[in-house]
Structure 1
């Protein structure tokens, strides 16, 4: 959903964990920049040879390269039924980064913290497989389109871990904390907040309350919006309640670092925090008053384990479940005994972005100016797409657990993802033809094409450091473009560290012509956050009248009809393939190894009460 952005590390080979316990957490992690290993401005003879081998291997495959398809694997363990109700589940979270310990959904900023939160707190709103809110959570909603209001109602017998009942004020408090002038977190800038009447005035400090929120009684509140947008029901409402009583006497600016957040956090999930070893582990015990029913374990122990050790921890029985298991390790351990492998779509897609303008800081909007940018010629962009074999890259470098993306809309949003788009296929001859006809010729016989004006054409490629398949992947991409006469070099002749990478992209560093990254999407299908005219995260700086019109329609009142919204976004996806501001590269799946003794564990998208965390347990 478009609630906030959470920058994480480049974790090629380390899957981001889906928030399987809070149903669809509002997460936009835009990292996972796939790739490139350090290459010099010119490839050395040895590098050249390695690149040729990489291309041959990627195109032809290898007898030793066993391929897998995530659709051949289950999303829920076969061991289902009634657990013993006893035992402690050992969960290993595969991460090279310790969790920071900001354990409240209003304040956390990193994937490890989000993962830990999912084990003891949960969303009060639930979503279905199409990312549409349902009324199966701890809070229900009723929308009145005539009055632009939504009534939220708390279900009966929902309790915080300290025994206090969940009230509607706890839900309202989330909005009041996130919207408070002293709040310095990253949330609160999306439709679910800004469309509430009086929210902007409250955030600016002009008023002491949000005028558009009326608390009727302990169970009910009415929110009045300036307009009802489709994004509200697909992730726009805030997912989480805030235990206001738990933070009594704590100022908003101190809440993120308070003991209530870092030492003794509480939630409404089936397990409650017993103890925390900072950055390393969380011990949880059964919360017997959990509103859906008694949990089927005595407790859980969740530990951070380095990716290099996670497979051994599974095989030895040290852990029962491995969350965020590195998918690149799967081919080597897929026949491990005593383990069932689950697979699911990652909520991400890789892409190559073309710099087509700059950010207008004064007017806070995109300044799209393709005529002034090196990559402004659509023929050049289309040729670069034809030059790379994405299917082979997914097969060779990811054993089929990544595959060619055909849209800038994630297949996680299955109702909206258009999978029959006519995208450029791998065809080096067609790439050469397009470049020739567009006037990109090698006029000085140095092996590289010049611009149609006869000027040297050097394309600067920004890539982030990290990832265990970076080097061969990099060699393949670089040589594929060189094979059609395009001189592509890495910015600064090396991979760029995460923070510096995004500083350069966000500040439109003039040395960047193209960059490689990925978007992790949340529940809200609305792509305006990445491609809108006034979206700072529209890093390509692409914007046209037609694109803006379609994006506006896609989040308008007429799009409350889901069929209309699908039609609008299908048209927008076709436009993106025609104009190519980005090349979608790969979609990804993730794998989760689960001990055969564990019952009812599931990676299913959407709420399923029978496979929810409180039903997880051990067999006899």
Structure 2
């Protein structure tokens, strides 16, 4: 069902192709599964999600095998909960938002949401999943000041107020807000979802309201927690995959905790999806994630050490990867990168230095820097001419796309750039031809990087040559991700280079938070984002007209009722970004290599992004299977 029609009708139905009545299917046992487990008919919901793979152009798979993949750091084991992409609501490959873990959703007036879970659905330990798990989250976790001192997260607020929560029956709950809440359903489908349910049967033992005080004290001492609340927090890790005892609804479950270098994730025997022949998903028995130096992952992948690899691979690796295909029997698929730009230069609009602040907020200055970059040269040198030069904005795959969003103030014109800088009053130069700032300092911009991308460093070298022609000196300063964010917090960061918009393929029903100053982690406007997140107790109030308008539009989106309202809001926000060049995008549409070795049902053409997409998630990794 189309998302917009579903909103209008008030009912969401599964958009996955269904194979027919579940009762007509003969459920099949998984070979080699623990014989002590209940039969499959008792493990899956009474109405599991049935997937017709042939209707999706895929083949019926077979159970078994281990999928090996490489990760750059131990904490990336959490990606199993991204790639598995079992969500209450999830996006399909057409960017339609449909039920997944949920059987159905009813929406009334954009503010009343009734969620129906699947009867007989179970957690990975076999315990029933249902309304009590939602109640525990809402009443005992997110509204408990000791566990959530910051209060309700934004997606649970509408016009600043939280919802009324009701348990309807064992499989149904209702959230009712006084005003529309367009954030709610899209947030449930994120790569890192909010998990508005918790395994209550497991976590209650660590909660002061339900648990034995002596047991809680003993367990807290083991992990050096001062009280029950931090102990509960350590146990409640739905996203990180660090607590091997925590039940899950994802397709794979971490099996042990004895290594930080090699993680084994085994199939969830109670997973809720089956194929049209009655086989329970996932097909693959286990996913093995091995930690390797991120810089070595392309070489290890070329050597055939990974069955499925996109993490830590970039466009610059494609040539090397292609050379190893025949020798090591793999295929390098090239997926469409969903980022708004492969990289963007980010002026810090809340930089502490008053002279830099005035320059950064001068629209002419940002325009001059943007049109002073030869993006066609960057595209040819770094991406073999295969990308699209232009701004950091939505891509042509998005229904919100307009060509001017990509092109405006992005055409190389050094003569006009020089004229704009002269118009600002930056006419004086030193003996090396570098313009002088109003306080006499040379116009030398330190562009800081996370030190994680050679391509970003190469791009800055080329941009430095361009900017030299307009009297601007660029110094690239490699740093580390945490240091970069810390300098944004202190206001010492002048300019940085980062990846473009995470979501370059939005629909109007997706959250436009990347376009507004609402995130403190933003390197563009940390102080404004911090002020918003802390409800005025931190950061700085917005004192720049375009930022104020973006905030007004974002707050209008938060109470919007119809897709048409949201479309108009998105388009004005995108137009402001195009007019103001708030982020200096460089090249978009750069392909993401995805190496596939011995894995079937992996599409050769796909979307690779974080939100929406969850990397492999949108293409349903639980439907992949091993060839041998």
Give the TM-score, by structure 2 length.
0.69
Q: Secondary structure at the match of 2:305?
A: coil
Counterpart position of 2:466: 480
Matching residue of 1:98:
74
Aligned: 1:320 with 2:307 = yes
Report the CA distance shift for 1:373/1:326 in structure 2 as closer, same or farther (over 3 A): same
Which has the bigger relative contact order, CA under 8 A and spacing at least 6? 1
Aligned: 1:414 with 2:398? yes
Shift of 1:320: 1.6
Structure 1 gap segments, 5+ residues each:
1-22, 24-75, 100-111, 200-210, 360-367
Q: Is the 8 A contact 1:355 1:373 kept in 2?
A: no
Instruction: Determine the structure 1 residue equivalent to 2:89.
Output: 125
Gaps of 5+ in 2: 1-15, 17-53, 208-228, 275-279, 529-543
Change (3 A) 1:259 1:555: closer
Instruction: Single out whichever of 115-124 and 515-524 deviates more from structure 2.
Output: 515-524
Equivalent residue number for residue 531 of structure 1: 516
| 1:224-257 deviation per Cα after TM superposition (whole angstroms, max 9, x unaligned) | 1132132333326855332111223114421343
Q: 1:383 maps to which residue?
A: 368
Contact 1:323 1:592 in 2 (8 A): yes
Which residue in 2 is equivalent to 1:231? 183
Q: 1:413 to 1:144 in 2, by over 3 A?
A: farther
Mapped contact 2:122–2:129 kept (Cα < 8 A) = yes
1:592 partnered with 2:594 = yes
Q: Secondary structure at the match of 1:248?
A: helix
Partner SS for 2:183: helix
Alignment of 1:278-297 (within 5 A): 278-293=259-274, 294-295=280-281, 296-297=283-284
Partner of 1:427: 413
Identify the residue that residue 341 of structure 1 maps to in structure 2: 332
**1:508 aligns to what?**
491
Change (3 A) 1:579 1:517: same
Structure with greater helix share of residues: 2
Number of the residue aligned with 1:244: 200
Q: 1:302 aligns with which of 283, 289, 309?
A: 289
- Between the aligned partners of 2:159 and 2:427, the Cα distance in structure 1 is 56
SS of 1:215's equivalent? Answer: strand
Query: In structure 1, what is the Cα distance between the partners aligned to 2:426 and 2:160?
Result: 54
Measure, in 2, the Cα distance between the counterparts of 1:284 and 1:480: 49
Q: Does 1:275 align with 2:268?
A: no
Distance 1:609 1:525 in 2: 17
Q: How does 1:118-267 map to 2 (within 5 A)?
A: 118=82, 122-129=86-93, 133-145=97-109, 148-175=111-138, 176-183=140-147, 189-190=153-154, 192-195=155-158, 199=162, 212-235=164-187, 240=195, 241-251=197-207, 252-258=229-235, 262-267=243-248
Change (3 A) 1:80 1:305: farther
Q: 1:236 to 1:270 in 2, by over 3 A?
A: closer
Greater shift, 604-613 or 381-390, is seen at 604-613
Look up the match of 2:218.
none
Contact between 1:440 and 1:449, CA under 8 Å: does it hold in 2? Answer: yes
Whole-angstrom CA distance in 2 between matches of 1:247 and 1:403: 49
SS in 1 for 2:255: strand
CA distance in 1, matches of 2:312, 2:142: 32
Partner of 1:213: helix, strand, or coil?
strand
Local SS of the residue matching 1:283: strand
1:214 and 1:221 in contact (8 A); partners too: yes
- Using the TM superposition, give the Cα deviation of residue 197 of structure 1 relative to its aligned residue in structure 2, in angstroms: 8.6
Change (3 A) 1:268 1:617: same
8 Å Cα contact 1:265-1:273 kept in structure 2: no
The offset of 1:152, in angstroms, is 0.9
- Aligned to 1:257, the other structure's residue is in SS state helix
Equivalent in the alignment of 2:349: 356
Correspondences of 1:45-84 after superposition (within 5 Å): 80-84=58-62
Q: Which residue does the alignment assign to 2:320?
A: 332
Deviation at 1:120, TM superposition (A): 6.1
Could you tell me whether the CA contact under 8 Å between 2:392 and 2:500 is conserved in 1?
Answer: no
Query: Cα deviations across residues 266-315 of structure 1 (Å, max 9, x unaligned)?
Result: 31233333334432232233334322121323333222233344345444
Deviation at residue 151 of structure 1 after TM alignment: 0.7
Name the counterpart of 1:404.
389
**Do structure 1's residue 614 and structure 2's residue 622 form an aligned pair?**
yes
* Structure 2 CA distance for aligned equivalents of residues 465 and 178 of structure 1: 33
Q: CA RMSD in A?
A: 3.8
The residue aligned with 2:531 is: none
In structure 2, the CA distance between the partners of 1:551 and 1:198, relative to structure 1 (3 Å rule), is closer
Which whole-Å deviations, capped at 9, do the CAs of 1:322-346 have from their partners, x for residues lacking one? Answer: 2414112222122412222231324
Instruction: Give the conservation status (yes or no) of the 8 Å contact 1:98–1:304.
Output: yes
Alignment check: 8 A CA contact 2:496 2:523 kept? no
CA contact (8 A) 1:79 1:599 kept: no
Go from structure 1 to structure 2 and tell me whether the alpha carbon gap of 1:319 and 1:472 turns closer, same or farther (over 3 Å shift): closer
Q: 1:487 to 1:312 in 2, by over 3 A?
A: closer
- Alignment CA distance shift 1:185-1:130 (3 Å): farther
State whether residues 169 and 218 of structure 1, in contact with CA within 8 Å, keep that contact through their aligned partners in structure 2: yes
Q: Which of 547, 555, 558 lines up with 2:558 in the alignment?
A: 555
Separation in 2, partners of 1:486, 1:418: 31
For residue 479 of structure 2, the aligned residue among 492, 496, 502 is 496
SS in 2 for 1:334: helix
Q: Is the 1:94–1:326 Cα contact (8 Å) retained in structure 2? A: no
Residue 536 of structure 2 corresponds to residue 580 of structure 1? no
TM-score by length of 1: 0.70
